[in-house]
Amino acid sequence: MTPDENAREERLGGAYAFGANFLWGFMPLYFLTLAPTGPWEVVSWRILFSLAFCAILLTVTRTWGKLVAILRDRRLVFWTIIAGLLIYVNWQVFLIGTLTGHVIEGSLGYFINPIVTVLLGVLVLKERLRIAQWVAIGIATLAVIVIVVGYGAVPWIALTLAASFGTYGLVKKQIGPRVDAVSGLTLESLWLAPVAGIQLAVVGATTGLTIGTLGAGHTVLLLLAGAITAIPLLLFAAGARRAPLSAIGLLQFLAPILQFITGAWILQEPMPLERWVGFALVWVALIVLTVDSLRAARRSRATVIGSMF
């Protein structure tokens, strides 16, 4: 591949990653349009319609063979089951937060996520951290303490989102490139389909299902939940294959920034002083982490170039 083609691929990858994070950033607004449908019903339809959407994609792209090959590998099947459970927790908590007026707290979870990812690297993969990374973790921990003490409540939605998505990323790292984005989401949705069925049965027997009862527009929006879930995941996967890791990392801050704007300015959720202080500390931690990552990447490139001469 020529340098021009390389640069073009990187720009295309950046555009894909930007599109994914832009869509994720405004995801709360989409799910809020589904009210009065509750989070348990929404997640159930999200799982089932994601499975249907992925099945259509596999048929159109004629890639069912890849899925069958994955199913023959017990280790890969095991990791896709774990990934499915983790993404279920993430989706369910995200919807509970979004539909109960906690969009800002949800954005905090995705701000903390990069720091949780670094911490998991130490605890699980036994990676060694640089001083700046330890400083970032310390500042983020202080931020959570400030929010807990000042606000008088543990931000469990934020912490659960950060922990579940961070661990989901770790599991995806274990799976590696052997499972493509479409096959991965198909299997994760497939394993969760029984859970979705049970949840719909419980909702139907208690509060009642809303699909098809609130007009054609509402029904169409619920039917689109699968596509709305799958499209940004596929865009992100396409971007991650093309764009540099440093660019992907920086673009991942776009989604929580947009979610924070949605919660604070569009939905007018409360932002008392202690929350501002807590968020400010998280942003400082992210700046420290980002600057350190960029410097490390630059040193690594310089070392590689130097070894060539």
Token pair listed for 296: 């490390």
**CA distances (Å), origin 138, targets 16, 63, 112, 131, 294:** 33, 45, 12, 11, 20
Average pLDDT of span 66-73: 93
Determine the Cα–Cα distance for residues 158 and 108; give it in Å rounded to an integer.
6
Residue 103, pLDDT score: 94
Tell me the C-alpha to C-alpha distance, in Å, between residue 38 and each of 43, 100, 203, 222, 262.
9, 9, 9, 12, 20
Average pLDDT, the chain: 87
The residue to which tokens 């083609």 are assigned: 5
pLDDT digits 0-9 by tens, 168-186: 888 887 887 788 888 989 9
pTM: 0.87
What's the mean pLDDT in 272-284?
88
CA distances in angstroms from 23 to 12, 16, 56, 163, 256, listed in the order given: 17, 11, 21, 22, 11
Instruction: Write out the DSSP string of 271-307.
Output: --HHHHHHHHHHHHHHHHHHHHHHHHHHHHHHHHHHH
What values do phi and psi take at 272, rounded to 5?
-65, 170
CA distance linking residue 245 with residue 239, whole number of Å: 10
Residue 245: what pLDDT? 60
pLDDT value at residue 141: 85
- Distinct helix (H) and strand (E) counts, the chain: 14, 0
For 183-202, the pLDDT digits (tens) are: 989 999 999 999 999 999 99
**pLDDT above 60 (res 71):** yes
Rounded to whole angstroms, the Cα distance separating 110 from 212 reads: 33
Q: CA-to-CA distance for 177 and 73, rounded, in angstroms?
A: 14
> pLDDT value at position 309?
47
pLDDT in tens, 16-36: 888 988 999 999 999 999 989
Q: What is the pLDDT of residues 220-238, one digit of tens each?
A: 999 999 999 889 888 887 7
- Give mean pLDDT, residues 54-72: 93
d(CA 179, CA 77) in angstroms, rounded, equals 10
Distances (CA, A) of 289 to 72, 144, 285: 40, 17, 6
Q: Which residue carries 């991965």 as its tokens?
A: 184
Place of tokens 């310089």: 302
pLDDT exceeds 70 at position 297: no
pLDDT for residue 125: 74
pLDDT confidence of residue 203: 95
| 12: confidence class by pLDDT, cuts 50, 70, 90 | confident
Binned at pLDDT 50, 70 and 90, residue 308 comes out as: very low
| Percentage with pLDDT > 70 across the chain | 94
Give the per-residue pLDDT at 303. Answer: 59
So what's the pLDDT on residue 275?
Answer: 85
H or E element that contains 128: none
The length of the chain in residues reads 309
Cα three-residue angle 123-126-130, rounded to 5 degrees: 95
User: What percentage of residues in the chain have a pLDDT greater than 90?
Assistant: 47
